Amino acid sequence: MTAVTEPKFFTSSDGDLAYHEAGAGDLVVLVHSGFVDHRVFDAQIPALAETHRVIAADVRGHGASANATGPFRWADDVAELLRHLDAGPAVLVGVSMGGRVVSDTLLEHPELVRAAVVCGASTGDFQDSDPWHREIQAEIARALAVGDLEGWLKAFLRYVPGPHRTLDDVDPDIPRRLREMALHTLSKHTPGEKDWLVPVTDTWSRVPKIDVPLLTLNGALDTADVIASAQRLADEARHGRAELIDDTGHYLNMEKPAEFTAAIRNFLKSL
């Protein structure tokens, strides 16, 4: 398999943003989930790089990328990266928060996107009303309010098994890796710092205008709201379709790397 390079950086409108590159050919950009970094794609980067040029970004405020010092949108950061690479339009693949970033980029900068894969997410307007998810959000808020790092991590890692399992049901290496990445990202921030993120709004009304191939890919053990919202995204986009991977939850690319990679490869072959 093709080795992953050391991080590269480009100067954005607000600081230096990091990305990793491997392979050659048509461009595929991987966008990771929240609080972690590009390493969630450790299994996919070398595999996809056998046939494509793969870029794995560290989203602003995560990994090796700069924190925000003013208002920003992650979709605009992705657009800046693609223009810096001068190699688009690209296929974008995002998991969880990264999936939302991908759909936002597709809506805000459609000329830069050739096709998209949205995993464990739909659009920026999605709100998961599942009681299990709301309980986790409350736990995270309580932990942040009192500076309880371990409490925050415990709540965050509940996303790994999802609402239908416990951490005992998954490979312990997955929460270990996520914990390591989350601790690194959290170390970049200070309690109470200003959140400069500007959300992309009015997304659902624009989904029917999406005119590129779109795949939503989800773990069958994720919350019902996540799966239903992804199905809606696939149904309302002009060229959308939805797939589920059995026996896995929100971090399907880490739990079922072979199946996840195969689904991405099949999608790329269909383009």
Q: How far is CA 105 from the centre of its chain?
A: 12
Tokens encoding 196: 């400069």
Examine the domain organization and report whether 252 and 120 are in the same domain: yes
Examine the domain organization and report whether 221 and 112 are in the same domain: yes
Full residue range of the structural domain in which residue 180 is found: 131-186
Q: Which residues contact 113 (CB under 8 A, 6 or more apart)?
A: 88, 89, 90, 91, 92, 105, 106, 212
Examine the domain organization and report whether 100 and 119 are in the same domain: yes
**What is the SS3 string spanning 102-144?**
HHHHHHHCHHHEEEEEEECCCCCCCCCCCHHHHHHHHHHHHHH
Query: At which residue do the structure tokens 């739909």 appear?
Result: 122
Examine the domain organization and report whether 97 and 150 are in the same domain: no
Q: Is residue 1's pLDDT more than 50?
A: no
Examine the domain organization and report whether 241 and 120 are in the same domain: yes
pTM of the model: 0.95
Q: Which residues contact 127 (CB under 8 A, 6 or more apart)?
A: none
* Phi–psi pair at 144, nearest 5 degrees: -65, -35
**Predicted pLDDT at 2:** 43
Q: Is residue 114's pLDDT more than 60?
A: yes
Indicate the pLDDT class of residue 140, thresholds 50, 70 and 90: confident
Examine the domain organization and report whether 164 and 142 are in the same domain: yes
